Amino acid sequence: MHIHILGICGTFMGGIAAIAKSLGHTVTGSDQNVYPPMSTQLESLGIELTQGYDTAQLEPAPDMVVVGNAMSRGNPCVEYVLDKGLPYTSGPEWLKHNLLQDSWVLAVAGTHGKTTTASMLAWILEYAGLKPGFLIGGVVQNFGVSARVGETPFFVIEADEYDTAFFDKRSKFVHYLPRTLILNNLEFDHADIFDDLNAIKKQFHHLMRTLPSSGKVIWPSDELALDEVIQQGCWSESETLGGDWGYNLLKGDGSEFTVLLNDKIVGTVKWQAIGEHNVKNAIMAIAAARHVGIAIDHSISALAEFISPKRRMELKADIANIKVYDDFAHHPTAIKTTLAGLRAKVGDEKIIAILEPRSNTMKMGVHQHTLLASLRDADEVYLFEPDNLNWSLNEQAQQAGMNCFTSTNEIVTKVVNDVVPQQHILIMSNGGFNGLHEQLIRAIETKYN
């Protein structure tokens, strides 16, 4: 079958393309921005890519057009598909019918920690020899890819609550048919598609309705919003972090902790990850793996060799004992927990935080009154105000006594002039940040080498 994917270069749709190719389909696709690394990754799989949305790419007509959720009415290819009556579907719906229907799906949902927790879970299953398939919204460094078809029925998926497609406004995750479900947390996000937190809770309730009675949901008992979702209806088995499961930190940065089950210590994790939020992620992954029969001590051994996904507190450079980290920050809570983990690790050493408020929710100003408070664990903060921000970051920065810039070059110049050894630079953005990471690393190298 010839499958053509509109919006192929996003992490999710690129993963769909790789999976479709592995299943033996002829795959082509297009996107507005076709560039490395996703373009080279797809081309290496033998997938032909088209820049832009000229309708000539749909001639001759493919057997199925898979429409990414970034596509909207008015897009030339979308209009052509509708006018010509070509068969089309969404990425989640295609995945459901072509792979997930016959799989034991382990899904990870929540506002924060989905990519990291799903990566942990996939690695635990791999370490146990189960050869799982997975589709995760980031490059899993233990595997080097973000998606693959497995050799067993087990499939791990990052279950995103974002909408499915222009013609299907349900959350993506209602298509995933989980048998094991992790709900990490739930806060208001994606203000571009959800009116309020209750609208998101409704989608999580729909997800709960798809879980079979023989399935299991794992969630933290101290999350009020999730508790309200569970109270709306839970027809499956459940386990909680804070009830059935727990932990004790042996090191404040979360790099060593004990695992508790029914208030008894069942093992100790020593690993590379930091932050109490990642400890919680790990407990959830251990619990989910136990649901498919993996012993706790085996999961603990796997976590000792776990490498965090790219862009999740990823150490990009260590120059003259100046460490530069990259983190996919998209919400004040994630920023706060990431900085808390780094602070616990480095003690009194100086942390320089550089933030680009790039997510749609941040651009709309939903978090403008809590964003800067989430940066308090940093010693110095550099804020970048993009052109398309709907509120004044500079005004908020002045009130908080923080630096705000409209040029990444100015940020690089200022940071490089001031930074000295034994300091830590944490760059936070869910985008490319105008190449700031590479500019800053090169400038530091020039200064100290």
Contact 381, 320 (CB under 8 A): no
Q: What is the CB neighbour count within 10 angstroms for residue 28?
A: 18
What per-residue confidence (pLDDT) applies to 185? 87
Last residue of a domain, one of 303, 335, 364: 303
Q: What is the CATH number of the domain that holds 76?
A: 3.40.50.720
The one-character DSSP state at 387 is T
Residue 250 and residue 381 in one domain: no
The one-character DSSP state at 61 is P
* Residues 6+ positions from 326 with CB-CB distance below 8 Å: 310, 311, 313, 314, 316, 427, 437
Residue 80 and residue 144 in one domain: no
**Cα–Cα distance, 139 to 363 (Å, whole number):** 26
What per-residue confidence (pLDDT) applies to 139? 77
Residue 401 included in any domain? yes
What per-residue confidence (pLDDT) applies to 336? 87
Residue 161 and residue 293 in one domain: yes
Contact 108, 102 (CB under 8 A): no
Residue 163 and residue 262 in one domain: yes
Residue 266 and residue 351 in one domain: no
3-state secondary structure of 60: coil
Residue 297 and residue 323 in one domain: no
3-state secondary structure of 263: coil
The number of domains in the chain is 3
Element (H, E) at 42: helix 38-44
**What's the alpha-carbon Rg for the chain, to the nearest Å?**
22
Phi, psi of 320 (to 5 degrees): 55, 40
Residue 267 and residue 145 in one domain: yes
What per-residue confidence (pLDDT) applies to 405? 85
* Per-residue pLDDT of the chain in tens (449 residues, 90 and over written 9): 999 999 998 889 999 999 999 999 999 999 998 766 677 888 888 999 999 999 999 999 999 999 999 999 999 999 999 999 999 999 999 999 999 999 999 999 998 889 999 999 999 999 999 999 999 987 788 888 889 999 999 999 999 998 999 999 999 999 999 999 999 989 877 667 788 889 999 999 999 999 999 999 999 999 999 999 999 999 999 999 999 999 999 998 899 999 999 999 999 999 988 888 899 999 999 999 999 999 999 999 999 999 887 777 888 999 999 999 998 876 788 888 889 888 988 999 999 999 888 777 676 766 777 788 888 899 998 988 888 777 788 788 888 888 888 888 999 999 988 899 999 999 988 777 888 889 999 999 998 87
Q: What is the CATH number of the domain that holds 287?
A: 3.40.1190.10
Q: What angle do CA 241, 174, 119 make, to 5 degrees?
A: 50
Residue 149 included in any domain? yes
Residue 121 and residue 230 in one domain: yes
Residue 83 and residue 171 in one domain: no
The tokens of 432 are what? Answer: 């490319």
Contact 133, 156 (CB under 8 A): yes
Residue 308 included in any domain? no
Residue 133 included in any domain? yes
* Residues 6+ positions from 113 with CB-CB distance below 8 Å: 184, 185, 277, 278, 280, 281
Host domain of residue 189: 99-303
What per-residue confidence (pLDDT) applies to 396? 80
Q: Quick one: three-class SS letters along 151-211?
A: CCCEEEEECCCCEEECCEEEEHHHHCCEEEEEECCCCCCCCCCCCCHHHHHHHHHHHHHCC
What per-residue confidence (pLDDT) applies to 190? 66
Residue 176 included in any domain? yes
Q: What is the CB neighbour count within 10 angstroms for residue 133?
A: 23
Last residue of a domain, one of 303, 325, 346: 303
Last residue of a domain, one of 272, 303, 334: 303
Residue 212 and residue 233 in one domain: yes
pTM recorded for the entire structure = 0.84
Residue 106 included in any domain? yes
Residue 337 included in any domain? yes
Residue 124 and residue 170 in one domain: yes
Residue 188 included in any domain? yes
Residue with tokens 């407990």: 283
Q: Provide the total of helices (H) and of strands (E) in the chain, helices listed first.
A: 14, 23
Q: What is the CATH number of the domain that holds 319?
A: 3.90.190.20
Residue 222 and residue 289 in one domain: yes
**Cα–Cα distance, 122 to 160 (Å, whole number):** 17
3-state secondary structure of 196: coil
User: Taking each helix axis from N to C terminus, what angle separates 114-127 and 296-303, rounded to the nearest 10 degrees?
Assistant: 110
